[in-house]
């Protein structure tokens, strides 16, 4: 009788020890279940696109808006020599045609910029004294920015490393220069009203003196451009005008 009781007690102790070890073994699995790891892809849907010469005076570029990211894609120049590059017979062979098509189809991303907001309006323009196009864009929260491309200075063996480091620090993590940024309410252009059904529309005055924005039904906002601006301020005081559709 006593022997049977001792055997039962030993079996119970063994079962309790096994349950404790199994619960301890499951504890790491519970911790791992709290972590969810996925791969993140950049946005792929195109919202806006504009042809411009952002990277240089003679480049053919396309500014592409993808959600909260602005991409600059550059179209390579056509091969020099045209059909003569195909051979001495001045004929355009199938091989040269395929090579030309391959080069044209190559449309690489030259620059990709994260934007703090969803871009709803994009306008390229070239100031009188600029060598390349500037980009004016507006977000859905009515915040704007004017940027231009600032290529990094060429490095040379005889250059002062401290000077090149200072230039790189001034340029920031992206090779762009922000000429102006802020919100339209700073210029008195924040109007409480019904937003235009067609969406925001931006247009540049032919002489580059101002930007016209149609954001609300019955209103047009005019943003004059200061052609002799300080690099920190590209826009002057703006104002709004009511149209005849209010």
Instruction: Give the 3-state secondary structure of the chain.
Output: CHHHHHHHHHHHHHHHHHHHHHHHHHHHHHHHCCCCCCCCCCCCCCCEEEEECCCCCCCEEEEEEECCEEEEEEECCCCCCHHHHHCCCCCCCHHHHHHHHHHHHCCCEEEEEECCCCEEEEEEECCCCCCCCEEEEEECCCEEEEEEECCCCCCCCCCCHHHHHHHHHHHCCCCEEEEEEEEHHHHCCCCCCCECCCCCEEEECCCCCEEEEECECCEEEEEEEEEEEECCEEECCCEEEECCCC
Q: What pLDDT is attached to residue 186?
A: 66
Residues of the chain under the 70 pLDDT cut: 1-36, 38-39, 78-105, 155-172, 186-192, 227-246
In the chain, what are the domain boundaries?
Answer: 48-77+93-242
pLDDT value, residue 187: 60
At 59-87, the pLDDT tens digits run: 999 999 998 899 999 987 766 554 444 44
- The CATH code of domain 48-77+93-242 reads 2.130.10.10
Q: What is the pTM of this model?
A: 0.64
């Amino acid at each position: 009788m006593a022997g049977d009781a001792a055997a039962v007690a030993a079996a119970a102790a063994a079962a309790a020890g096994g349950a404790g070890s199994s619960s301890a073994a499951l504890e790491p699995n519970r911790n791992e279940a709290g972590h969810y790891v996925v791969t993140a892809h950049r946005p792929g849907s195109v919202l806006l696109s504009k042809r411009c010469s952002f990277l240089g005076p003679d480049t053919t570029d396309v500014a592409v808006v993808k959600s909260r990211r602005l991409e600059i894609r550059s179209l390579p120049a056509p091969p020099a020599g045209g059909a003569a590059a195909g051979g001495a017979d001045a004929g355009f062979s199938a091989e040269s045609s395929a090579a030309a098509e391959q080069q044209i189809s190559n449309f690489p991303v030259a620059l990709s910029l994260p934007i703090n907001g969803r871009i709803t309006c994009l306008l390229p323009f070239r100031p009188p004294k600029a060598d390349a196009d500037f980009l004016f864009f507006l977000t859905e929260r009515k915040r704007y920015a004017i940027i231009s491309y600032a290529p990094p200075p060429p490095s040379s063996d005889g250059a002062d490393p401290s000077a090149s480091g200072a230039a790189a620090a001034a340029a920031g993590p992206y090779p762009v220069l922000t000429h102006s940024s802020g919100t339209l309410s700073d210029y008195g252009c924040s109007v409480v009203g019904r937003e235009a059904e067609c969406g925001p529309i931006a247009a540049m005055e032919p002489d580059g003196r101002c930007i016209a924005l149609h954001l609300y039904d019955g209103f047009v906002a005019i943003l004059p451009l200061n052609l002799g601006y300080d690099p920190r301020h590209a826009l002057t005081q703006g104002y709004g005008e009511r149209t005849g559709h209010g």
